[in-house]
Chains A and B, each alone.
Chain A
Amino acid sequence: MATSRQPIAAYLPGIMVVIFITTIVVSALASLWWFAFTNSDEPFYFDSYLWQIILFTFIQATLSTIISVILAVFFAKAIYQNHFIGKAWLLRLLSLTFVLPSLVVVTGLIAVYGAHGWIAKLCLYMNMDYSFSIYGLNGILIAHVFLNFPFASKYCYQSLLLIPNQQRQLAEQLGLSPVYTFRYLELPVLIKQLLPLSGLIFMLCFSSFAIVLALSGGPKYTTIEVAIYQAVRDFELNQAVILSCIQLLFCCGFLLLLKRLEPKKSPLLINNNQPYVSRRNQWQNYGSYSIVAVGALFISLPLLTIVFEGIYHASYLFLTKSLVVATFTSIIVAVCSAVLAMLQAILLLWTNSRLQFVGKNKLSEILMLLGTLILAVPSMVLSAGFFIVFYRFSDTSGVIFILVVISNSLLALPFILKQLSVPLTDLTKQYGFLSQSLNIKGFRYFYLIEFKALKKLFVYSFTLACIMSLGDFGIIALFGGQQFMTLPYYLYELISHYRYPEASFSALLLLLISFLFMTLFEYSHDDRT
């Protein structure tokens, strides 16, 4: 095809971003590696316990991913099919569990499922025996499903919205049963979108560790991330580097496996404004409403305990200067990180959709893999590497601010990429030739075609990046401290000083701000087109 040749301008943005990301990650890893190599004489050891850890990490991550995704499909379908009061609220809630610090998640879950939790109290009231234990494998799975399933549901819901309403109408006119509609209309779309998302969830669960430790019931179930953390603490940096390579390998392997599973042919996805509600009988109605109810309870109960605790303890006395400063710092960090993450995502996807447009799928795959890979690098290793590169500036707050923003944006990037890559590629496939013939290029193309069509997704991705950066405090633990305090960091300090009422108030504040972000951006993009 003569038209398929792309100008250099199409490749440059994505390549620039990839170079930026890999430079940061590779220089952090390489400097740690180099440091480990020159400063440590500890040999690498690989014992049976480590094997056990790797095996368990893999199994729990796989199980968590499969359960989260399957439940998400049912839940999203049920939300899609029904109109009910509070639907908009529920949809906003779905991205919140993702951002909470592990300490808050554990507290919330224990308050519901624990020995003195809500369910236990309800059972006691009804004279029933409550013998469920939230510790062990079931605790880990509940926590991981609680963290990932709501986000996956939101994602599924958005995917379902992408199926053109005309196709649904057609399916109904043809008299397809719900099973067949699901099989031929919805499943292809969901698979196309969910496989890459499964990769992300897998990586998150693979490297999760504070939650796993807290609910595992003991070291019988720990993750490889604990081994890495321990290696860094013991200053066995060789061990840390090799273990993180193992982790990287597993995650890459899983991602490649998912890539293999992806169907070659897939439907084009376009955003609808309204979900299509098909006619159903009474029983189907009851069924889908009860799925909505159970799912909503599962997500909202632990969050509600945080809200109740926060309100119960709330006092204006808690609004100290430190809390206000920490809150503002968090918000500013979040917005800056989100802007940077969006910028990187848009540039990367710009190149990616053009690569796909001309059929260079291998290159596009590599590009997307590099954008995602940061999730597989253990945060402890990344921060230590970051530290070796940048510690000379570590007492300059401005530099810390920039480092925190960059690392947050890198962590949010994979999620934005997953949200936007498929729809953007499809848009380019649809409007690529048309816009070439009309000579719509560059920023005008982005604004007229991509932004206008996927405004909602763009705004949602931005918000998601915001609240993800709000709750994260990985790198601050190494650099920040008193001179640069974010809300999650402050929350941990409150708890380590037995300031439980203030801590529950701060957790509520964190939740509220995330929710506000979600709501604010939803209203700010009122569709007038």
Chain B
Amino acid sequence: MLRIISFFIILLLGLPLFAKDKPVLTVYSYSSFLSEWGPGNKIKQDFQTKCDCLVNMVSIDDGVMILNRLRLEGERSKADIIIGLDTSLIGQANKADLIQPHQMTRPTNLAIDWWDKQFIPYDYGYFAFIYNKEHITSPPQSFAELLNHPEWKIVYQDPRTSTPGLGLLLWVNNIYAQDSANIWQKLAKQTLTVTKGWSESYGLFLQGEADFVLSYTTSPAVHMINDNDHRYQAAIFDEGNYRQIELAAITKYSQQPELAKQFLAFLLTPAVQQLIAEKNIMYPAVNTTVPAAYAEIPQVTKSLSFNENEVFNNQKKWIKQWQRAVSQ
């Protein structure tokens, strides 16, 4: 036993000592991007074979925490690249002044109408309510329809603690603006519960506790790919579904700006984009082949979004409004 333990400790202590002579590119990303089912590891390997450098992937909870980590570390941060902030976080990131312009030209094969001097989009998706089509035979076509069925139970995530939860907050405010407090109260009557994160709520949904769960339009594809299970569907709303774009950027204090630029360009190559669509289960940012299951997913008819200032200036106000409305 002692031998195993000491072996382990030596192994753990020794890992960072290998091969220091090559330049090291440090990338911060969220944990599911870097996990063994995410695209992170393959991207790292592929880039390393091209760049004659080492890529050090650091996994951090989620986009918000990546931003916080940068804020905590300030100019002493080792991060060169961050992957995983989304469009609703740009305002905060800009205010904290942590990013440098990437100086890349807009690719001609970009699949979305979004480009920025500081951030590059690497994938995108739409928030949607997922249902089981064996239980819900006439799915709602709009928020109004969803809220017109008092017997439907809905589970979503807390916007204070979760990214999709915040997405719903933006979605509702985008459609209903002044009237959203009213909508929250209506939704509250059908809400089974609000969970801390996505995992808990999706679990409740799969256990049959709720009829609808807030997730992404692409979520059903995973069930098709993993288990050949075609029961789950995303409800597409006539008013539109809120779009989330995931972003990568070069940090302000990066020691390797050239290498970092190469890496961002690499992220947008069709091969990597294909990998992201396959393993991050989001739409690729440039035109490329997507997994076959994506063909089965209904297309979003109208894409909704705010610009970063609208999010930045209103987020706290909207959260308070939500709190008040659902606590009554």
A258 to chain B, nearest CB (A): 30
Looking at the complex, which one of B56, B69, B76, B209 makes contact with A115 (CB distance below 8 Å)? B209
Known contacts: A35-B72, A103-B199, A235-B68. The answer to whether A226 contacts B34 by CB under 8 A is no
Interface positions, chain A 102-135, Cβ under 8 Å from B, are: 102-103, 106-107, 110-111, 114-116, 135
- Chain B residues whose C-beta falls within 8 Å of the C-beta of A398 in the assembled complex: 9, 12-13
Chain A contacts with B in 482-504, Cβ cutoff 8 A: 482-484, 492-493, 495-500
Asked if residues A233 and B209 are in contact (CB atoms below 8 Å), the reply is no
Known: A116-B207, A116-B209, A397-B12. A214 touches B32 (CB 8 A): no
B226 at the interface (CB under 8 A from A): yes
Q: What residues of chain B lie closer than 8 Å to A39, measured between beta carbons?
A: 71
Q: Is B183 close to A, CB under 8 A?
A: no
Q: Could you tell me if B196 and A397 are in contact, using CB atoms closer than 8 angstroms?
A: no
Cβ of B37 within 8 Å of any chain A Cβ, yes or no, is: yes
**How many angstroms between the C-alpha atoms of A249 and B11 in the bound complex?**
43
Contact among B191, B197, B226 for A498, CB-based, below 8 A? B226
A116→B60 contact, CB < 8 A? no
Docked Cα-Cα span, A209 to B58, in Å, equals: 27
Is the beta-carbon distance between A210 and B196 smaller than 8 angstroms? yes
Of the 9-residue stretches A57-65, A368-376, A388-396, A443-451, which lies at the interface with chain B?
Answer: A388-396
Min CB distance B23 to A, Å, is 16
**Is B290's beta carbon under 8 Å from chain A?**
no
Q: Which listed segment binds A: B101-109, B263-271, B294-302, B320-328?
A: B320-328
Please name all residues of chain B whose beta carbon is closer than 8 Å to the beta carbon of A182 when the two chains form the complex: none
Q: B328 — nearest CB in chain A belongs to which residue? A: A220
Chain A contacts for B150, CB-based, 8 A: none
Contact of B32 among A115, A209, A497 (CB under 8 A): A497
A135 near B193: Cβ-Cβ < 8 Å: yes
Q: In the docked arrangement, what's the CA distance between A392 and B160, Å?
A: 29
Cβ A499 vs Cβ B194 within 8 A: no
Known A110-B207, A384-B72, A395-B58; judge A493-B31 contact (CB<8 A).
yes
Residue A318, interface by CB 8 Å: no
8 Å CB contacts to B: which residues of A25-68?
Answer: 35, 39, 47, 49, 52
> Does more than half of chain A's interface fall in helix, strand or loop, or is it mixed?
helix
User: Does A357 reach chain B (CB closer than 8 Å)?
Assistant: no
CB distance from A207 to the nearest CB of B (A): 14
B35-58 CB mask vs A (1 if < 8 Å, else 0) is: 111100000000000000000111
**Nearest-Cβ distance from residue A136 to partner chain B, whole angstroms:** 9
Closest-by-CB residue of B relative to A230 is B160
A27 to chain B, nearest CB (A): 15
From the candidates B64, B68, B158, name the one contacting A226 in the complex (CB within 8 A).
B158
Asked if A213 is at the interface (CB within 8 A of a chain B CB), the reply is yes
Contact with A along B58-69 (1 / 0, CB 8 A): 111100110111
| Neighbouring A residues of B222 by C-beta, 8 Å | 497-498
A498 and B199 alpha carbons, distance in the complex (Å): 9
Identity of the chain A residue whose Cβ is nearest the Cβ of B199 in the assembled complex = A495
Q: Are A114 and B207 in contact (CB under 8 A)?
A: yes
Known: A226-B158, A232-B68. A217 touches B35 (CB 8 A): no
User: When the two chains form their complex, are residues A397 and B207 in contact, meaning their CB atoms are under 8 A apart?
Assistant: no
Q: How far is the CA of A398 from the CA of B6 in the complex (A)?
A: 12
> A141 interface residue, CB < 8 Å from B?
no
- The reply to whether the CB of B195 lies closer than 8 angstroms to some CB of chain A is yes
Tell whether A52 pairs with B31 under 8 Å between CB atoms, given A110-B207, A395-B78, A495-B203: no
Any A CB within 8 A of the CB of B73: yes
**B207 and A493 contacting across the interface, CB-CB below 8 Å:** no
Q: In whole angstroms, what is the CA distance A478 to B73 when docked?
A: 13
- Asked whether A397 and B13 contact (CB < 8 A) given A220-B327, A232-B68, the answer is yes
Measured between alpha carbons, how far is A483 from B15 in the docked complex, in Å? Answer: 9
By beta carbon, the residue of chain A nearest B207 is: A110
Q: How far is the CA of A495 from the CA of B222 in the complex (A)?
A: 12
Whether B12 and A135, one on each chain, are in contact in the complex, defined by CB atoms closer than 8 angstroms, is: no
Interface string of A234-260 (1 = CB under 8 A from B): 110000000000000000000000000
Nearest B residue to A489, CB-CB: B31
Asked if B19 is at the interface (CB within 8 A of a chain A CB), the reply is: no
Are the C-beta atoms of B12 and A233 separated by less than 8 Å? no
Task: Indicate whether A311 reaches chain B with its CB closer than 8 angstroms.
Answer: no
Chain B contacts for A111, CB-based, 8 A: 207
Are B59 and A218 in touch, CB under 8 angstroms?
Answer: no
With contact pairs A481-B31, A498-B226 given, residues A213 and B196 touching in the complex (Cβ less than 8 Å)? yes
Contact of B68 among A49, A114, A233 (CB under 8 A): A233
Question: Does B124 interact with chain A (Cβ within 8 Å)?
Answer: no
- Output the least CB separation between B159 and chain A (Å): 9
Q: Are A214 and B200 in contact (CB under 8 A)?
A: yes
Q: Which residue of A lies closest to B17 (CB)?
A: A396
Collect the chain A residues with CB atoms within 8 Å of residue B201's CB: 214
Contact A219 B65 (CB under 8 A): no
State the Cβ distance, B185 to closest chain A Cβ, in Å: 11
Q: A392 to chain B: which residues have CB within 8 Å?
A: 76
Q: Name which residue of chain B comes closest to A388, CB basis.
A: B72
- Cβ of B206 < 8 Å from any Cβ of A? yes
B147 to chain A, nearest CB (A): 15
Q: Out of B56, B160, B204, which one reaches A233, CB within 8 Å?
A: B160
- Residue in A216, A395, A495 whose beta carbon sits within 8 Å of that of B193 in the complex: A216
Residues of B close to A500: CB separation below 8 A = 206
Contacts of B161 in A (CB 8 A): 213, 226, 229-230, 233
Residues of A within 8 A of B31 (CB): 481-482, 493, 496
- In the complex, whether A296 has a CB less than 8 A from a CB of chain B is no
Shortest Cβ distance from residue B235 to the other chain A in the assembled complex, whole angstroms = 19
Q: Is A433 an interface residue when CB atoms closer than 8 A count as contact?
A: no
CB distance from B29 to the nearest CB of A (A): 9
Tell me the bound Cα distance from A345 to B68 in angstroms.
Answer: 35
The CA of A496 and the CA of B324, in the complex, are separated in Å by 30
B212 within 8 A of A: no
Query: Which residue on chain A has the smallest CB distance to residue B68?
Result: A235
List the 8 closest pairs (A to B, CB-CB), nearest first.
A481-B59, A398-B13, A230-B160, A397-B12, A116-B208, A497-B37, A498-B222, A213-B196
Question: What are 12 A-B residue pairs whose CB atoms fall within 8 Å in the complex?
Answer: A116-B207, A210-B195, A210-B197, A216-B194, A233-B68, A328-B8, A398-B12, A478-B61, A481-B60, A497-B32, A497-B38, A498-B219
A332-B5, A395-B78, A398-B9 provided; 19 other pairs, C-beta below 8 A?
A35-B72, A49-B324, A103-B200, A213-B196, A215-B193, A219-B158, A219-B326, A220-B326, A226-B196, A229-B160, A328-B4, A332-B8, A384-B72, A398-B13, A401-B12, A480-B59, A482-B57, A493-B31, A495-B202
A→B interface (CB under 8 Å): 35, 39, 47, 49, 52, 102-103, 106-107, 110-111, 114-116, 135, 209-210, 213-220, 226, 229-230, 232-235, 320, 322, 328-329, 332, 384, 387-388, 391-392, 395-398, 401, 477-478, 480-484, 492-493, 495-500
